[in-house]
Structure 1
Amino acid sequence: MGTVTHLTERLRTVPTRIGAEDEVLGVAQHLASAEVSWEDVVQSGVFAISIPVDFGGLDVSNAVMAEAVSIIAAASPELGATLASHFSTLEALRHAGSEEQRRAIFSRVARGESFSGLLCADEPQSEWALRLSAEGIGYRLDGEIVSNHAPEADWLTILLGDERGQPKFVLVSRSAPDGGFDVSGTDIRRLSFQRFHVATDAVMNASADARRMSATVADLLKGALALGRLRQNFLALLEQGRRPGTVAQQDSLRAVKSEIGRVYVHMETLSALVQRCGTEIDIAQVTPGVHTLNRAGQVARSLAIAATQGLKHDGGSRHDEDALVKLGSSLIEHPPYPVQVKGSDGSP
């Protein structure tokens, strides 16, 4: 992928370079606090924060990366999900292919290019499944795959086996010339390839570690996305609990307080797990080995499960409910984040 001559280049201004880890969350807060366009996101430099130091990047800690995704997801779940898929794909590519291929990829990321989430072509029994075969000095891609990739992403990244069954990452540019690459659908897109040419340098060997680490980072960022949604819900509940006259009866107020406490416990639990998971992934990246990779994967899976399960609303004892109500009352009175209480007409 040193030259990537098969691409149709798109002119774009070089994004801002985020020069220090402590700047990352400020950029995330800015993106979350304003109406921003896709180009604003590109120019912010946020796509490049995970570029490894060896390739001229900042390579922020995984906990900071996850916190940035969480902050953005609280304001824009779609943008948060796009960033999560981009970062998890870059994690796969940082462990794949040759050094020359990786250097070319990360130089493109530094220029503001983004990658879709990893697409797995795992249906070899289907006649419509993707097939990668050698052709001339490159490869040919045929078949179909269903994807929910971000339509703005510059690159599609597809995992599939070659003719010998060896796993490969195949990089397809969204701006590739027409002829053999069709997209249909909106939220769920069907990608169809007919004799689609792929350059040799856009096909990378996909090691087991690359696939494992990508899945681990994806689980970390699932937790970050869930944390963003919880923070959004938490602030909405605090506003409901603090707004004068919105709760008519004590039973209703008790229910609101209980829900505030429940969400807060889940939120703080996820936040701690995100930090722990980020640290384990940092260790696995610096000192990769069976133990560190397994440990990072275990913590990440625990986080992903915690993110999807949530706190159950049934089966709790009266004592548990009382504890949550007490916590909710304290949070209404002393919120951990600034909360602007709106009037009954919606005004501040």
Structure 2
Amino acid sequence: MSQNDRKLHREAALTAGRPAPHIPPRRVKANVIKDDVEAIAVAKELAREFAAGAVARDRERRLPIAEIERFSQSGLWAITVPKEYGGAGVSAVTLAEVTAIISAADSSIGQIPQNHFYMVEALRLADSEEQKRHYFTRILDGDRLGNAFTEIGTRTPVDYKTSFVKRDGRLLLNGQKFYATGSLFAHVIVAVAKDEVGRVHIVFVDRATPGLDLVDDWSSFGQRSTGSGTVTFDDVEITPFQIVDHDVVFEKPTPMGPFAQIIHSAVQVGLARGALAEAISYIRAHARPFFELSIDHGYEDPHSIHQIGDVTIRVHAADALLARSGRLLDIATANPNERTVAEASIAVAEVKALGTEVAQLAANKLIELGGARSTLESYGLDRFWRNARTHSLHDPVRWKYHHIGNYYLNGQLPPRHGAL
């Protein structure tokens, strides 16, 4: 894409959206969480706060800028920084549970740091100690990383036109991204880009760098406040220190793929939990009995009781699979090899498949059992289905079943990439 084309695309994006909000440089250091127990406790506290405004943020498509600042300043965005660099180095089980807790309250907020954690893992697997020390320190202090991965107009979502080349003695980054979840709130934008020979790298670019532009043009019917919009790079000057080889983490067995996916899976499990909790609360407070029954309350309806029981079992099953996948991912992280990484990838695929189905089931039952009044805009209960359906489209669940079946039936190891 030429510079003129990018300019035209940016103008079109601005017509469809709004300029990115101003995110000032971080002024105070974040809290540093010490261990897994503290991480879970902080997540539960924040979830109570975030749940209070979830309906209004969704209805108004209001970016959760204050909430994200509270989230990162709490220390939760640094919990995967390894202990040897000053972080808590929490388990994958804990990271998944933190994500599910937040997502049950507001799935947009739960999704926003997914790519931040992905980049932290990419840094952990990188070879450069200097890069690790520099960026881990910034993350512990409270800086947020944003995603500039996927583009539109390419053959597949993992084809990239964004690239950097050496010109007149300078390294220049050019390209345009869409679905850039988290970038509107970020201090550092991390772009996936090819070098001159086509090798894929991730490039860390400070938000205020000349030539970097963000537009708030995300218009999906779900996950409305994730700020997933357009990012443009026009002759953005970078240095080798800002570049981390990304292809290398998939050329050998590493936990990179299942690590990325367990966070997405946890968003779905959190949505299922949130929808089930809302269904129980709404039915207890508002549902009326069917007129053929001689009961006084909707929550006494035997069919509603049965269906809430069915959904509860499925949500608990998804919870168990999420914890199991975290344990296997922790094993793969401690001892990465063909077997452990494959086991972790398949386990995460299992919870992604079930969690996606259960989130939509719980969201459907919330409306079905709640009755006609549950569709009123004032309740905002439709957000669970819209969010679950939208978030599920990051990668097709039908391929999860394929890889799971091929693994157990034919002993075929799953491919290594960020979507499995």
Provide the identity percentage: 23
Which secondary structure does the structure 1 equivalent of 2:255 belong to? helix
Higher mean displacement: 72-81 or 298-307: 298-307
Please state if 1:96 is matched with 2:138: no
How big is the shift at 1:245?
6.7
Q: Which residue of 2 aligns with 1:161?
A: 194
8 Å contact kept, 2:148–2:231 = no
- Over 3 Å counting, the alpha-carbon distance change for 1:182 and 1:43 in structure 2 is closer
How big is the shift at 1:136?
5.8
Q: Which residue of 2 aligns with 1:141?
A: 173
Pick one of 235, 239, 242 that aligns with 1:199: 239
Paired with 1:213 and 1:138, the residues of 2 have a C-alpha distance of 34
8 Å contact kept, 1:45–1:110 = yes
Pick one of 212, 224, 227 that aligns with 1:181: 212
Q: Which residue of 1 aligns with 2:37?
A: 22
- Over 3 Å counting, the alpha-carbon distance change for 1:244 and 1:45 in structure 2 is closer
**Pair member with larger Rg:** 1
8 Å contact kept, 1:137–1:200 = no
Aligned-residue RMSD, C-alpha: 3.0
How big is the shift at 1:23?
0.8
8 Å contact kept, 1:114–1:154 = yes
Partner letter of residue 311 of structure 2?
V
- Over 3 Å counting, the alpha-carbon distance change for 1:307 and 1:118 in structure 2 is farther
Alignment of 1:110-121 (within 5 A): 110-117=140-147, 119-120=149-150
Q: Which has a greater percent of helix?
A: 2
Paired with 1:59 and 1:79, the residues of 2 have a C-alpha distance of 22
- Over 3 Å counting, the alpha-carbon distance change for 1:194 and 1:305 in structure 2 is same
Please state if 1:129 is matched with 2:161: yes
* C-alpha distance after superposition, 1:175-203 (max 9, x if no partner): 32x3x222234215222222111122101
Pick one of 32, 40, 51 that aligns with 2:70: 40
How big is the shift at 1:237?
2.0
Q: Which residue of 1 aligns with 2:335?
A: 287
Paired with 1:74 and 1:55, the residues of 2 have a C-alpha distance of 31
Paired with 2:285 and 2:70, the residues of 1 have a C-alpha distance of 35
How big is the shift at 1:309?
2.8
* C-alpha distance after superposition, 1:300-346 (max 9, x if no partner): 12221222233897xxxxxxxxxxxxxx9xxxxxxxxxxxxxxxxx9
Pick one of 280, 302, 313 that aligns with 1:265: 313
**TM-score w.r.t. length of structure 1:** 0.78
Higher mean displacement: 158-167 or 64-73: 158-167
How big is the shift at 1:20?
2.2
- Over 3 Å counting, the alpha-carbon distance change for 1:168 and 1:236 in structure 2 is same
- Over 3 Å counting, the alpha-carbon distance change for 1:240 and 1:120 in structure 2 is closer
Paired with 2:106 and 2:78, the residues of 1 have a C-alpha distance of 19
- Over 3 Å counting, the alpha-carbon distance change for 1:225 and 1:244 in structure 2 is closer
Paired with 2:152 and 2:217, the residues of 1 have a C-alpha distance of 22
Paired with 2:180 and 2:342, the residues of 1 have a C-alpha distance of 29
Pick one of 78, 97, 113 that aligns with 1:83: 113
The answer for unaligned runs of 5 or more in structure 1 is 1-7, 314-327, 329-345
Paired with 1:256 and 1:153, the residues of 2 have a C-alpha distance of 44
The answer for unaligned runs of 5 or more in structure 2 is 1-22, 51-65, 219-227, 362-368, 370-378, 380-420
* C-alpha distance after superposition, 1:283-311 (max 9, x if no partner): 11111111111111111122212222338
- Over 3 Å counting, the alpha-carbon distance change for 1:121 and 1:215 in structure 2 is farther
8 Å contact kept, 2:148–2:180 = no
Higher mean displacement: 268-277 or 146-155: 146-155
8 Å contact kept, 1:89–1:118 = no
How big is the shift at 1:129?
2.6
- Over 3 Å counting, the alpha-carbon distance change for 1:90 and 1:246 in structure 2 is same
**TM-score w.r.t. length of structure 2:** 0.66
8 Å contact kept, 2:329–2:344 = yes
Please state if 1:247 is matched with 2:279: no
How big is the shift at 1:11?
4.1
Which secondary structure does the structure 2 equivalent of 1:60 belong to? coil
Paired with 1:238 and 1:161, the residues of 2 have a C-alpha distance of 49
Partner letter of residue 236 of structure 1?
E
